Structure 1
């Protein structure tokens, strides 16, 4: 059997009292079941991992000389925290985003997590 592929269910809101943790707990097994049902012919199995970006405190994107799109080698990120985030994001085969609308867009914590790396999101 092929190695288990991890799918990140990225929770876009960490608001205290928010609905995201409950929805993620409900959605995660549904996604996992559907992925594993549809992969019976390929014998591929999947694991859904709930990811809360606030568990990976990155701080603001203020490094200076290069923007994340210009950094191809994760070793070139100036912060160990961002290098760790890069490795974490790269460990997933796919992503599902669970996010509320916040002032007509998506929450700042999610945007910050997305903006710290660039090539790692590429499929």
Structure 2
């Protein structure tokens, strides 16, 4: 049996983003975990590299079963890329109690490329990206019929001070595009939840 193909989608496109670092942290955990059966391969998929315009398709993607029929080349490339995978890991920060506009826009171009497939969510933010986590679950489950893992890790930055708008040095580092050792050490407490979420989506793929 060929290895399952897993896409790790980076959901941020801002210049000083830490999503590549967060994605690499997740990927490293999973590749070194005991979740090795069935075999899998994780590829990072960066929404920022596709140059997607603001959603401008004349019809809803739910009506576009032939992925080559999207009007823009970037939308076609994005859909064909997503369609290659058996399951998905969506890594997203939280902006103003929700997911980034760039991620929502990218998702709006999809439907048949991934409808009904397994997925897991990993969010990060001052409070672990809780609101983004919940919003993303609704979008993926109700919008696309994805089978989302019951485990949804929420990665919080350590040392937040409620008297200072929940700021911390770890958060300040993150805003400059740096993922501190303090932060990754703090996130070790979420390692098992990340692994369990991944095991769940692997099992969902094999059941199909």
Query: Of 57, 72, 75, which aligns to 2:51?
Result: 57
The more displaced of 75-84 and 93-102 is 75-84
**8 Å contact from structure 1 (residues 10, 51) kept in 2:** yes
The SS at the match of 1:14 is coil
Against the structure 1 CA distance between its residues 82 and 20, is the aligned structure 2 distance closer, same or farther, given a 3 Å change threshold? same
Question: Aligned runs of 1:22-61 on 2, under 5 Å?
Answer: 22-34=21-33, 37-40=34-37, 44-61=38-55
**Preserved contact between residue 29 and residue 48 of structure 1 (Cα < 8 Å):** no
Report the Cα offset of residue 27 of structure 1.
1.1
Distance in 2 of aligned mates of 1:85 and 1:12: 14
The 2-side partners of 1:59 and 1:106 are apart by 18
Of structures 1 and 2, the larger Rg is shown by: 2
1:23 to partner: Cα distance: 1.4
Aligned to 2:156: none
Question: Quick one: distance in 2 between partners of 1:75 and 1:50?
Answer: 23
Matching residue of 2:78: 85
Q: Which runs of 4+ in 1 moved over 6 A?
A: none
Gapped runs of 5+ residues in structure 1? Answer: none
Task: State the partner residue of 2:20.
Answer: 21
Q: CA deviation at 1:83?
A: 1.5
User: Is 1:110 paired with 2:103?
Assistant: yes
Q: Larger helix proportion, structure 1 or 2?
A: 2
Residue of structure 1 in register with 2:113 after alignment: 120
Q: Distance in 2 between matches of 1:81 and 1:17?
A: 23
Which residue of structure 2 aligns with residue 73 of structure 1?
66
CA gap of 1:77–1:25, structure 2 versus 1, over 3 A, is same
Report deviation, 1:39.
4.3
Higher relative contact order (CA 8 A, sep 6+): 1
Q: What is the distance in 2 between the residues matched to 1:26 and 1:98?
A: 11
**Structure 2 gaps, min length 5:** 118-208
